[in-house]
Amino acid sequence: MAKLAHEAAQINPFETARRQIDIVADLIGLEPWMRELLKSPKRELTVNFPVRMDDDSYRMFTGYRVQYNMARGPSKGGIRYHPQVSLDEVRALAAWMTWKCAVVNLPYGGAKGGVICDPKKMSKGELERLTRRFASEILPIIGPEMDIPAPDVYTDSQTMAWIMDTYSMQKGYSVPGVVTGKPISLGGSQGRGEATGRGCAYVIREAAPNAGVKVKGASFAVQGFGNAGSVAAKILCEEQGAKLVAASDSRGGVYKPEGINCSALLAHKSKTGSVVGFAGAKPLSNEELLQTKVDILIPAALENQITKKNADKIQAKIVAEAANGPTVPEADTTLFEKKITVLPDILANAGGVTVSYFEWAQDIQGYFWPLAEVTKRLEQVMVQSYKDIHEVAQARQVHNRTAAYVVAIQRVADAIRIRGIYP
């Protein structure tokens, strides 16, 4: 894992995001000024703030909120807590959120936030104080009509509850629509917790026939057996009849060619904190997992995992990106030449933001939907979005990522042109 993490750290994610825009701009003949506009964030905020620790000392933290584009509506994007958060990473994630929202045709722009910290070494009280202080620092640029944060890496529904409460205290009344991914009791949506993984499973199901894969009985591996990865695995196993043979997390991985029981692996991880040591499975590194011979590979960890160095070793027929930015542009070319179907992040993991949109809409209306309705609407969005991208890929003879960017960038550029440039 250390080698893979080191290689990933050498790649600037924002440069990756900008190269992806250039590829599509050349393909669709985007005007030079529009190209430059779409390669630049609209607004960036860097904040440095103190937090009281449990021993009554104070530590300084740095956080970011980037609003990339708001042509189609208020910006939307998660907040992550991680030691390796950087401004360029947040810029890239905000750009990808812009395209992700456009791909699934939501009336949103893209944003992202992050705080440089190690949440594994902080108590719940310290995390609450950090969250509330960070929320107060970015409060001037967030809101249900402006920018709606959500959970991301090492943040969750509790984090969102703290942000919602902090924002509401400043306003003097409850504003549930300021964030999504909240607990149900505070205006959260049914089905939000599993939405990213469920959406990914739906897209895999839709793409499988075109990739020559029968999902029932298909083998698959998950790099990053966290929220999105584990939910996708559970749905693929229990609802679609696929077979999990390998899974990993930040501590390592496990491999069992005859199949791993998803529920048992989840129970093991809940008890021990990792998939490592699962009974009856062989140890496996994250590097080895990516190269395992399976029908379906689900990268659900961090960005820059499939690179020019290891792309030719990928043996899966379908790569479904439950993570953000796991494949660099140079690797896309190799995978395309190998006839591997890539389901790009801005499609494959868009189930989360789709149900976040449902949550926001429910909060604004003050009217909440049952789980069956949320799931049905999510399936409709993911199925239609895959069809839109597949049609473009076939028509232009390009891989799915380029097709997804064509759909997304065209929609955002159209919105900018129709609105016009003020003043």
Tens of pLDDT, residue by residue over 174-222, are 999 999 999 999 999 999 989 999 999 999 999 999 999 999 999 999 9
Query: What whole-number distance in Å separates Cα of residue 377 and Cα of residue 220?
Result: 26
* pLDDT for res 330: 87
Helix (H, G, I), strand (E, B) or coil at 244: strand
Which tokens is 248 given? Answer: 């990993």
Mean pLDDT across 53-57: 98
Query: What whole-number distance in Å separates Cα of residue 305 and Cα of residue 314?
Result: 11
Task: Indicate if the pLDDT at residue 275 is higher than 90.
Answer: yes
C-alpha dist (Å) from residue 60 to 12, 52, 264: 25, 9, 41
Task: Indicate if the pLDDT at residue 39 is higher than 90.
Answer: yes
* pLDDT for res 1: 46
- Domain positions in the chain are 41-186, 195-348
Tens of pLDDT, residue by residue over 376-420, are 999 999 999 999 999 999 999 999 999 999 999 999 999 999 999
Tens of pLDDT, residue by residue over 208-257, are 999 999 999 999 999 999 989 999 999 999 999 999 999 999 999 999 99
DSSP secondary structure of 96-161: HHHHHHHHTT-S-EEEEEEEE--GGGS-HHHHHHHHHHHHHHHGGG-BTTTEEEEE-TT--HHHHH
Tens of pLDDT, residue by residue over 65-121, are 999 999 999 999 999 999 999 999 999 999 999 999 999 999 999 999 999 999 999
In this prediction the pTM is 0.92
* pLDDT for res 135: 98
219-223 and 296-299 strand pairing: parallel
147-151 and 75-82 strand pairing: parallel
In the residue annotation, 112 being an active-site residue is answered as yes
CATH topology of domain 195-348: Rossmann fold (3.40.50)
Task: Indicate if the pLDDT at residue 3 is higher than 60.
Answer: no
* Owner of token pair 């999105």: 228
Residue 42: its H or E element:
none
Q: What is the mean pLDDT of the chain?
A: 95
Q: Which of 69, 91, 147 is nearest to 415 (CA)?
A: 69
* pLDDT for res 10: 66
C-alpha dist (Å) from residue 287 to 227, 283, 343, 371: 20, 12, 20, 37
Task: Indicate if the pLDDT at residue 130 is higher than 50.
Answer: yes
CATH topology of domain 41-186: Rossmann fold (3.40.50)
Q: How far apart are the first and last CA of the chain?
A: 51
Q: Is the fold of 41-186 the same as that of 195-348?
A: yes
Which tokens is 314 given? Answer: 């990928």
Catalytic residue among 39, 42, 100, 112: 112
Task: Indicate if the pLDDT at residue 122 is higher than 90.
Answer: yes
Q: Is the peptide bond before 74 cis (omega within 30 degrees of 0)?
A: no
What is the number of other CB atoms lying within 10 angstroms of the CB of residue 195?
29
C-alpha dist (Å) from residue 361 to 144, 145, 278: 10, 11, 41
* pLDDT for res 20: 87
Tens of pLDDT, residue by residue over 10-20, are 678 899 889 98
Query: What whole-number distance in Å separates Cα of residue 417 and Cα of residue 28?
Result: 15
Task: Indicate if the pLDDT at residue 8 is higher than 90.
Answer: no
Task: Indicate if the pLDDT at residue 155 is higher than 70.
Answer: yes
pLDDT band at 9 (very low <50, low <70, confident <90, very high): low
